[in-house]
Amino acid sequence: MPTRVPTTAPPSRRPRKRYRYRLRRLTPVGLAVAAAGLGGAWVGSHQSSTPIAAAAGPVVPHIVHRATPKHAAPAKRAVVVPERLLRGGTQISHRFSPGLLGAAAVLVDAKTGRVLWGKNAHDRRQVASTTKIMTALLALRKLRPHELVTVDKSVPRVPLVREGLRAGEKVESWKLFYSLLLYSGNDDALALAIAAGGDKWTFIRSMNAEAKLLGLHDTHFSTPSGVKDADNYSSAWDLAALTRVAMRSARFRTIVHTRVKHVKWNAPTYAKIYVNNNRLLGSYPGATGVKTGYTHKSGPCLVASATRHGVSLIAVVLDSPDMYTDARRLLDFGFASL
């Protein structure tokens, strides 16, 4: 009897159909994913390097921290170099005969600052009321001409010379400036100092700060008027430099060039007349100012200015028994030399 060989049943075709069915469904998805990946890569390769801030958070700047070298030089601070107001080294050789009587003197070309001649020009000396040149310079910057100044109760008590200001009275500042620079009132100096600086000592500190700013190395102030000699000094050189700056102010030039000023005043005074103490005005051709001074320790002092044919000069004479003759001789020499 023949042996029966068992036949194996053919494999079922349903799993193959399901596999093909699933493949057909997944193929489009795979292609889409691949396309998206390729697109993202292309966009990323062409995208700007600037990051885009997330909508939900603030922009955080990208900060690069650089290591500071151990031996790095410190940052340099800006240095304010004072203007060179006077220029020495080119003085004109000249011997006055007879010699000038002043203990110190200097002659300067006001336009260029060139020092034409000097005698003990850097000696520190008491300068009396020529101090008021600095007082006027600073107060003119602060106070308008018709600004009312209330006279402080301390003002009438200053030492002579005084014009007679009364505590509490209100005076337009321009009147005080004329009295300061023509009559040389010490009460005017204090009244202006308090009005411009808030108090006397604040103003004096500003005077010394300005002196430092201008490069006045031989100058120190302890009073706005110069009435006290202690610790109040300058030099012929520094006064000439200071006067160059002050004469740049039109208000200052007008005042110091005035010989006589008539001023209306409140009752019971009604009127005042200020006469300029500078006797060069009206007697020396071309004289334009600027200030006299005197104490027992300083001796007679004079800062003078004059202009002829476009040439402007400043002459300073300190502690001279004949300051006007000394100043005339200096100015004559300067005009003849330029």
Q: Which of 132, 175, 261, 291 is catalytic?
A: 132
- The two tokens of residue 270 are 């009604």
- The distance in angstroms from the start CA to the end CA of the chain is 158
pLDDT at residue 58 tops 90: no
- Look at residue 74 in the predicted model and tell me its pLDDT: 65
**Mean pLDDT in residue range 167-171:** 97
pLDDT at residue 38 tops 60: no
**Mean pLDDT in residue range 262-274:** 96
Q: Which of 119, 175, 179, 184 is catalytic?
A: 184
- Look at residue 70 in the predicted model and tell me its pLDDT: 56
Please say whether the beta carbons of 243 and 229 come within 8 A.
no
- Look at residue 75 in the predicted model and tell me its pLDDT: 66
The lowest-confidence range among 66-70, 211-215, 225-229, 319-323 is: 66-70
**Mean pLDDT in residue range 155-174:** 96
> pLDDT band for position 56 (50/70/90)?
very low
Largest CA distance in the chain: 173
| 132 classed as catalytic | yes
**Mean pLDDT in residue range 251-277:** 97
Q: What percent of the chain has pLDDT over 70?
A: 77
Query: Could you give the CA distance from residue 37 to residue 30 in angstroms, rounded to a whole number?
Result: 11
Q: Which has the higher per-residue pLDDT, 282 or 8?
A: 282
Q: For residue range 99-140, what is the model confidence (pLDDT) as tens digits?
A: 999 999 999 999 999 999 999 999 999 999 999 999 999 999
pLDDT at residue 290 tops 90: yes
Q: Which of 38-52, 61-75, 248-262 has the highest mean pLDDT?
A: 248-262
- Look at residue 26 in the predicted model and tell me its pLDDT: 47
| 49 classed as catalytic | no
- Look at residue 90 in the predicted model and tell me its pLDDT: 80
- Look at residue 22 in the predicted model and tell me its pLDDT: 47
Q: Which has the higher per-residue pLDDT, 161 or 30?
A: 161
Please say whether the beta carbons of 180 and 135 come within 8 A.
yes
Please say whether the beta carbons of 148 and 170 come within 8 A.
yes
SS3 content of the chain, % helix, strand, coil (to 5): 35, 15, 50
- Look at residue 88 in the predicted model and tell me its pLDDT: 87
Query: Could you give the CA distance from residue 65 to residue 24 in angstroms, rounded to a whole number?
Result: 56
- Look at residue 40 in the predicted model and tell me its pLDDT: 47
Q: For residue range 176-204, what is the model confidence (pLDDT) as tens digits?
A: 999 999 999 999 999 999 999 999 999 99
**Mean pLDDT in residue range 145-163:** 97
- Look at residue 69 in the predicted model and tell me its pLDDT: 53
The lowest-confidence range among 63-72, 98-107, 292-301 is: 63-72
Query: Could you give the CA distance from residue 281 to residue 271 in angstroms, rounded to a whole number?
Result: 23
**CA torsion sign, 163 to 165 to 166 to 169?**
positive
- Closest to 240 measured CA to CA, from 329, 324, 312, 325: 312
pLDDT at residue 226 tops 70: yes
Sheet (strand 287-293) strand order: 115-119, 104-109, 311-318, 301-308, 287-293
Question: CA distances (Å), 127 to each of 44, 175, 312, 320, in order?
Answer: 82, 24, 23, 12
Question: Can you give 212-254 as a three-state secondary structure string?
Answer: HHCCCCCCECCCCCCCCCCCCEECHHHHHHHHHHHCCCHHHHH
> Over the chain, what is the mean pLDDT?
85
pLDDT at residue 243 tops 90: yes
H runs (alpha helix) in the chain: 14-46, 132-142, 173-178, 186-197, 200-213, 236-246, 250-256, 323-337
- Look at residue 82 in the predicted model and tell me its pLDDT: 74
- Look at residue 83 in the predicted model and tell me its pLDDT: 86
**Mean pLDDT in residue range 79-99:** 87
- Look at residue 141 in the predicted model and tell me its pLDDT: 98
- The two tokens of residue 187 are 């009460």
Q: What are the structural domain ranges in the chain?
A: 104-337
- The hierarchical CATH code for the domain 104-337 is 3.40.710.10
Q: For residue range 270-282, what is the model confidence (pLDDT) as tens digits?
A: 999 999 999 999 9
